[in-house]
Structure 1
Amino acid sequence: MAELVVALDFPTKESALEMAQSLKGTATWMKVGLELYTTAGPEIIYELRKLGFRVFLDQKFMDIPNTVQGAVRSAVRAGADMITIHTCGGRRMMEAARKGLEEGAADTGRSPLLLGVTVLTSMTEDDLVLPEGMTVPTLALQYAKAARECGLTGVVCSGHEVESIKSACGDDFVCLTPGIRLASADDDQRRVMTPAQAVAAGSNYLVAGRPITKADSPRDAATLFLEQMAAESL
């Protein structure tokens, strides 16, 4: 069954932990992105794990291979359960990231999921310079195939691309889908899906932030997400 990940996009460690505490007993995964990690550092991973959550460290690493290898190794040592890199960093970088994961696993006895970001769900063809005839789904599939060949666990992609990626890369290839919305929303996400649609498409992990954390009752919102996901899984 697909799992829900709540994005803790908060400016302080205190506000993020307060939200996480209020969601105990609903989602079991929390996402730490750029804003929160920059202000709170690796300690936020420890604090969330202490509360009983699994931690998705969404830093989207992209740099020279040696730098990304070290960053992934450090992320594993810090306790992350899921880590992201950018597939557009190229094959050598993705292979170095996998090596960093293996090194961190050897140190800790833990082997987190390593996912490659294909095309951000905030982007459409209008935001990209694509070769003639290429579409965003085609590009995402191309990146996913490369990620599979480089030994990554899976990819981050829109729910609209999951079916083709699973078909090409196998059902065991993990697809994490951001931009999950209960209904249409006026924000910076574009290629979005509802929880039920994403589960039906085959997504393994669904990420939702503002629709839960900005709701009048975040706990009720998270519960509604989980109910819609479970209904589609029956």
Structure 2
Amino acid sequence: MSRGPRSGARAPRRRSPARRVRGRLAALATTLGALALSAVVPRAAEAASPARGSGYELRLGLGFAATSRIPTLRLSEDTSLSSRELVSGTLPTAGGFRGLGGYADFAYVVRPRLTIPLAGLGFYGAVGDHAPVRSAVDGTLATVQPWRMFAIDLLGPGLGLRLTRRRYFFEVAARVGAVVYGGKAALAAGRDAVDADVVGIAFSARAELSGCRRLDPEQRVCLSLAPRLYEVRPLAGASLNLSWVWGN
């Protein structure tokens, strides 16, 4: 004889529609989370790698600098003349300066877009034709000789933005600094002239526009244009530089 269903057996439970919906949503969320992690983790690892991380940069370059006005010069020390014991004071000047030279610059880069120029130093010697500038110091006639002058460029801190495109990047920065001008002036001493050392300093605010090509993960070559936004007067000049960059 066949046996009927036991009276004590329980019928299988059926999940409510709400539970089934919650289960499917949980499975969908888990799948989406796994997909998101698979996309984000490799990018994060790449960004944290030494080749793309934040770090310092050293830049060495050669350049041409031109300014339309040099600052007021002064005698670096008292000068003895045949007609007078000592001459000291300042020389009002006019005219500009053109020079060739080199520089070194140090910056910190916060990947991928922010750059922080820290400090730099450059030296430029006069090139080309410079007309003599006639002036006077302490009642004595003086002739400033720009072709015997030099400029020491003291680069200060700044802030910049960088746009990277494959092996190339473009950068715009603004920074402050100072330029020290030095040279010679001829002081009239009767029929003769006495050479005297002169020096002047000017505050500088400039922009820097650079285009660079990456040669390998740590080296780049850059061409830069740096307008002098203010140096003795607004829009005083510019410099054009070719540089080699090392860094992350």
Does the TM-score normalized on the shorter chain lie above 0.5? Answer: no
Which has the larger share of strand? 2
Between structure 1 and structure 2, the one with the greater Rg is 2
TM-score, reference length from structure 1? 0.19
